Structure 1
């Protein structure tokens, strides 16, 4: 594989990793609407975070960053 092809492949993989990171992040955050518990009380929203999805998104962002650094280094 030539240097140019390798840089293009790594750039593509970096973009793919970022897209997967966004997908993982959205899967890891869920919100639930709750009505008022008693009459006159306000309704509220609860947010739940799933650590495995958020951790996967973080790992993918780190991998994408390393790929971009390698592309820049190979220039």
Structure 2
């Protein structure tokens, strides 16, 4: 396969992996707002992090990084 085509394909996959990682991260963070428990007390919010979604986002970032490294390697190889 032509190395230029492969480099472009890997670069596109890297961008797609980063976009998908951002979506996964967004899915993994939920913020809930709660009313005051007692009169005069302030309202508060809580944040729940889902390990599965955050882990998927991390794995996608690693894959994107490896793809970028491979694109650079292919570009420098004669």
Task: Give the TM-score taking structure 1 as reference length.
Answer: 0.99
Which residue does 1:48 correspond to in 2? Answer: 48
1:36 is paired with a residue whose SS is: coil
Query: How many aligned residue pairs are there?
Result: 75
For structure 1, which runs of at least 5 residues remain unmatched after alignment? none
- Deviation digits for residues 1-54 of structure 1 (CA, Å, limit 9, x no counterpart): 200000000000000000000000000000000010000000000000000000
TM-score (norm 2): 0.95
Give runs of ≥4 in structure 1 deviating > 4 Å.
none
**Mapping of residues 15-30 of structure 1, within 5 Å:** 15-30=15-30
Gaps of 5+ in 2: none
Q: Tell me, in whole angstroms, the C-alpha distance in 1 between the residues paired with 2:45 and 2:37.
A: 12
